[in-house]
A = this chain, B = another copy of it.
Amino acid sequence: MSTVSKTLPARYYTDSALFRQEIESFFFQGWICAGRADNIPNAGDYFLREIAGESIIVVRGDSGLVEAFYNVCRHRGTRLCSAAEGSFAGRIQCPYHGWTYGLDGRLLGAPHMDHPETFQRSDYPLHKLHTDLWDGHVFINARPHPDPLTVQLADLPARFAPWRMAELRLHKRITYDVHANWKLIVANYNECLHCPVLHPALNRLADYLGSDNEAPQPTYIGGSMSFRGAAQTMSMDGKRRRDYLPGLSENQRNRVSYYVVYPNLLLSLHPDYMMTHTLWPRAVDRTEIVCEWYFHPAELSKPDFVATDAIEFWDVTNREDWHIVELSQAGIQSRAYTPGPYSSREELLAAFDQVVIQRNPITEANEDQRK
């Protein structure tokens, strides 16, 4: 007789020390998705990402490579740049005393540092992070000697090649500030058991009982869901107002794939568009979520291109989800909370919890005071 899987102890959602440990293990020891390369097409184009109080500059270098640097001048520590996105004119200059760096991070100029016997410019490049791309998704890694990104992605690149994600272009971004632990958002994304109760609109378009979860993997989880009735995509009325993405098979045209690439990319592949959520934990009980909608350039260039059907559908659904995970966060903080049982429809969550526990075991030092 097996025992039922249960949700995590409360402290995984409420303890700030455990949260910081989790951020280290998930966000600073592995690859995380930082955004999209098509948002910085030209040399000098950049965007900033904030991870647990760290500001990271992601910039297109002179050679066309995407680079990532900590946003910290080597002189007196000043943030080099504060606009969320923009373009550097060939170099990155500190606004305080004018130290100047190349797009590859090398220190090019440092006014009045005129003691050659004690100061070498080569000793003060910007602190760099590793970068890599997967079909237009930019990944960064803070470790000095990381494993290749391909290890983390495993078979995903092959599997999702037909969607030709690198060709797609950003059309819309909405940022949400959610008062819940980041893992509650991952969990919410990985089951549709809640869809009949919480998402009446979504439930009309897809049958949560028809979802098809892949066996959980060490670095990602996910599955797909087929449409219900005449629905052809996720939109307000289920109608599809854009051509299928080129390259999809008949079977791929009839379903939506939902994958979490640990820790922070939620990838939702529709027959006619791609939606991504990236998660940016701000505190143990707060997460910033960047949701983006991507379309095929051929569609975007059509005079009658429309996307509000897809954007509104997901914006409504997103808000329903964020509200309910905030209620979960509030309830889990109660002394009355005890781990509860998962149903058979929540098997991916149990798998994710195991990854969490494995990377962040409860030690004697951080043992829960609750029962």
Give the interface of A toward B (CB within 8 A): 1-4, 7, 10, 53-55, 70-80, 82, 94-98, 110-115, 117-119, 124, 127, 187, 193-194, 196-198, 324, 327-328, 330-338, 340-341, 343-345
The prevalent SS among residues of A at the interface is: loop
The answer to whether A53 and B333 touch across the interface, beta carbons within 8 angstroms, is yes
The answer to whether A55 and B330 touch across the interface, beta carbons within 8 angstroms, is yes
The answer to whether A77 and B111 touch across the interface, beta carbons within 8 angstroms, is no
Contacts of A10 in B (CB 8 A): 77
The answer to whether A340 and B124 touch across the interface, beta carbons within 8 angstroms, is yes
Contacts of A127 in B (CB 8 A): 336
Contacts of A53 in B (CB 8 A): 333-334
Closest CB of chain B to A130's CB: distance in Å? 14
Q: Pick the contact of A327: B96, B114, B343 (CB < 8 A).
A: B96
Q: Pick the contact of A3: B118, B327, B331 (CB < 8 A).
A: B118
Q: Pick the contact of A82: B74, B196, B327, B338 (CB < 8 A).
A: B327
26 A-B pairs (CB sep. < 8 Å) = A1-B117, A1-B118, A2-B117, A3-B118, A7-B77, A10-B77, A53-B334, A54-B336, A71-B331, A72-B332, A73-B331, A73-B340, A75-B340, A75-B341, A76-B187, A76-B340, A77-B332, A79-B328, A82-B327, A95-B327, A98-B196, A111-B343, A112-B345, A118-B341, A124-B340, A124-B341
The answer to whether B197 and A336 touch across the interface, beta carbons within 8 angstroms, is no
The answer to whether A334 and B96 touch across the interface, beta carbons within 8 angstroms, is no
Contacts of A54 in B (CB 8 A): 334-336
Whole-angstrom CA separation of A338 from B127 in the bound complex: 10
The answer to whether B331 and A77 touch across the interface, beta carbons within 8 angstroms, is yes
Contacts of A341 in B (CB 8 A): 75, 113, 118-119, 124
Contacts of A3 in B (CB 8 A): 118
The answer to whether B327 and A78 touch across the interface, beta carbons within 8 angstroms, is yes
The answer to whether B327 and A118 touch across the interface, beta carbons within 8 angstroms, is no
Closest CB of chain B to A128's CB: distance in Å? 10
Most-contacted residue by chain B among A97, A114, A330 (CB, 10 A): A97
The answer to whether B97 and A197 touch across the interface, beta carbons within 8 angstroms, is yes
| Contact A76 to B113, CB < 8 A, known contacts A118-B3, A194-B96 | no
The answer to whether B72 and A198 touch across the interface, beta carbons within 8 angstroms, is no
Contacts of A75 in B (CB 8 A): 340-341
The answer to whether A74 and B340 touch across the interface, beta carbons within 8 angstroms, is yes
